[in-house]
Amino acid sequence: MKFRPIFILVAAFPLPTSAAETVAPAPAKPSVIQRLLHPFGGGAAPTAPTPPAAAKDARQKLPKKESGATTPAPPPAAEPAAPPKSGVMHRLLHPFGGPAAPGAAKDARLKGVEMGASVESPAPKLAETREVKVTVTLANKGKKLAQLAFPTNQRIEVLLKDKAGKKLIQWSEDQAFFAEPTLITINPGERLEYAATFSTRDLVAGETYTVEAFFPSFPELRRTLGLAPEK
């Protein structure tokens, strides 16, 4: 009895997947070059590129570099303070500007003018001398006319000091002066002379003293003399 093979055709239909499951895509097969370079399956997968949005955020977080920055300029130097203005009393007492400040430049009006001073007796004998005379002169050695302005009728001042520099006598204390502004003219070759005297009653024989003669309106015109009284 012969058996005949029976061929049954079974139709293959895809099975439906569950709603909770997701089908993962099959990994890509390595190429021939990759298999040659990594025969044992090594080599890490290349890092995925940064999304454009993430790259933009990273750039925004970087601090911005300032361009054209320069070193700050130093503060401007302070301007010198203006000299104080003279008061009303100063202007009344010195209508022509008054005496110059210490260290000031020499008055141009004194060009060619020379001062001289002398003591009548540098070593007076106290037993015979009651007063000491000081002579002060102004001479115009220049070729031009010299004019000196004085705010009062006082021209000179004479001080007597001991060896320690203490003032003993001031000649002007016994004089009377008035506010009479005067302009004195000295011709070329001409000389003016002034005299002042002070008592010897406060002098001590054997001591040394200093006589200072000057013009209060012109501090540059000043002379210092020595005095050594005897018995």
Amino acid letter for position 39: P
> pLDDT averaged over the chain?
73
Q: What is the CATH classification number for the domain harbouring 135?
A: 2.60.40.2360
In a domain, 102, yes or no: no
Portion of the chain with pLDDT greater than 90, in percent: 51
Domain range enclosing 183: 108-226
CA torsion, points 68, 69, 70, 72, in degrees to nearest 10?
Answer: 140
In a domain, 25, yes or no: no
How far apart (Å, rounded) are the C-alpha atoms in residues 89 and 179? Answer: 12
CA angle at 191 for the pair 187 and 193, rounded to the nearest 5° = 135
pLDDT at position 36: 67
In a domain, 54, yes or no: no
The answer, yes or no, to whether residue 167 has pLDDT greater than 80, is yes
In a domain, 56, yes or no: no
In a domain, 142, yes or no: yes
In a domain, 146, yes or no: yes
Ranges 14-18, 158-162, 175-179: which has the least confidence:
14-18
Segment of 17-21, 95-99, 202-206 carrying the highest mean pLDDT = 202-206
The answer, yes or no, to whether residue 194 has pLDDT greater than 80, is yes
Burial category of 163 from C-beta neighbours within 10 Å (exposed 0-12, middle 13-18, buried 19 and up): exposed
pLDDT at position 35: 72
Question: pLDDT category, 87, cuts 50, 70, 90?
Answer: low
pLDDT at position 157: 97
Q: Structurally, how many domains does the chain consist of?
A: 1
pLDDT at position 108: 85
pLDDT at position 109: 86
Question: pLDDT category, 59, cuts 50, 70, 90?
Answer: very low
List, as own/partner pairs, every contact residues 187-192 make where C-beta atoms lie below 8 angstroms and the sequence separation is at least 24, other chains included: 187/140, 187/145, 188/112, 188/140, 188/142, 188/143, 188/144, 188/145, 189/140, 190/139, 190/140, 191/137, 191/138, 191/139, 191/140, 192/137, 192/138, 192/139
The answer, yes or no, to whether residue 71 has pLDDT greater than 60, is no
The answer, yes or no, to whether residue 134 has pLDDT greater than 50, is yes
pLDDT tens for residues 10-53?
Answer: 444 444 443 333 344 455 666 766 776 666 655 544 454 544 44
Question: pLDDT category, 107, cuts 50, 70, 90?
Answer: confident
